[in-house]
């Protein structure tokens, strides 16, 4: 069993990574149904929260069926982060997660996200004060370091644990790598194997198949896997990994009816939550993977990702179902 504070999780839990414009309530609900053990919100700006910015406060929406759920915030100003913690607590999440890993320039340029990897002392201070401010378990997501020459993740992990975080998720790339190249899990294993560490260490980056998840568990000895890009348009990834762990075999391919049903529900929930325009727009990125492996699919995909009205997208789903309902695709 793995524990984040008092939260009990199964052995080698699978966590849905916080992803901007991806891990919103509709997608989190689908991933939860398919076996995600912990889900995290999109990352939320502490400055946006304290200004009551609509986009930031909307991301605080969480639902009972998601639990355990973590709300992730980012920022580099201590006062703003502490005020954000108080706002986040009112949404009653199970976990508060601090983003010290986002590599995007507009975040990094303000010293937030992965930008704070240039100032480990500030990272430690911010974390310590946030832990003191809340009764909720605080976790951190970060990267190996700013660049290859400044990887100090073993030291960083010790310092964060010492000020009270309850779990640490590490993406196996530096900020300089962004999302390029291969994730390096060796330094993450060094953190896990450090005899000083006693909190769960979760690996993130390139967990893109059940075999890779098993490798992270068995060869690197980590406590769990945080899943990001592999589950976009594929909420079944969590179920596929768990099936493989249990049986050593791959789950049967997802049927066309299941794919269509998930896509329909996803779009409907997105519209219900964020309105027609954003619901249609922000669900588009999932369709390529929802319908991966289908021959001659391009005309239907084009309709799905260029239509501005949900009725046209739902019609495209109906057309795909009518044409491919009897087929199975790996």
Q: Specify the residue for token string 């053990």.
A: 37
- Is 102 annotated in the active site? yes
Phi-psi region of 119 (alpha: psi -120 to 50; beta: other; left: phi over 0): beta
Burial readout 261-293 (b: 16 or more C-beta within 10 A, e: otherwise): ebbeebbebbbebbeeebbbebbbebbebbbee
- CA 96, CA 49: separation in Å to the nearest integer? 14
Nearest residue to 26 (alpha-carbon basis) of 305, 267, 309: 267
Q: Judge whether 178 and 143 are in contact, CB under 8 Å.
A: no
* Tokens of residue 35, six digits: 């076996």
Q: Judge whether 157 and 194 are in contact, CB under 8 Å.
A: yes
- CA 34, CA 160: separation in Å to the nearest integer? 32
Out of 31, 102, 121, 231, the active site residue is 102
Helix 276-283 vs helix 310-324: angle between axes, to the nearest 10 degrees? 40
Residues with Cβ within 8 Å of residue 155, at least 6 apart in sequence = 120
Active site residues: 102
């Amino acid at each position: 069993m793995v524990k984040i504070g008092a939260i009990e999780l199964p052995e080698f839990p699978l966590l849905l990574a916080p992803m901007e414009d991806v891990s919103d309530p509709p997608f989190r609900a689908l991933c939860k149904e398919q076996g995600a053990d912990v889900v995290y919100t999109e990352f939320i700006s502490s400055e946006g929260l304290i200004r009551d910015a609509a986009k930031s406060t909307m991301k605080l929406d969480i639902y009972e069926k998601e639990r355990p759920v973590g709300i992730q915030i980012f920022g580099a100003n201590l006062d703003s982060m502490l005020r954000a913690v108080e706002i986040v607590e009112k949404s009653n999440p199970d976990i508060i997660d601090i983003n010290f890993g986002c590599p995007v320039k507009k975040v990094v340029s303000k010293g937030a996200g992965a930008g704070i990897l240039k100032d480990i002392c500030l990272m430690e201070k911010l974390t310590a004060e946030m832990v003191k401010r809340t009764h909720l378990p605080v976790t951190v997501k970060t990267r190996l370091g700013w660049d290859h020459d400044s990887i100090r993740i073993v030291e960083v992990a010790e310092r964060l644990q010492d000020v009270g975080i309850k779990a640490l998720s590490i993406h196996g790339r530096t900020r300089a790598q962004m999302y390029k190249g291969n994730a390096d899990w060796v330094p993450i294993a060094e953190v896990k194997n450090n005899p000083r560490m006693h909190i769960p260490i979760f690996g993130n980056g390139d967990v893109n198949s059940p075999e890779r998840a098993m490798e992270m568990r068995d060869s690197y000895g980590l406590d769990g896997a945080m899943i990001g890009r592999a589950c976009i348009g594929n909420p079944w990834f969590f179920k596929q990994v768990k099936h493989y762990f249990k049986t050593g075999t791959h789950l049967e391919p997802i049927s066309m009816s299941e794919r269509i049903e998930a896509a329909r529900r996803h779009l409907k929930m997105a519209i219900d939550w964020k309105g027609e325009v954003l619901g249609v727009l922000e669900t588009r990125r999932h369709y390529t993977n929802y319908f991966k492996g289908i021959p001659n699919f391009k005309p239907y995909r084009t309709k799905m990702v260029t239509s501005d009205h949900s009725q046209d997208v739902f019609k495209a789903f109906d057309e795909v179902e009518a044409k491919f309902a009897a087929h199975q695709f790996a």
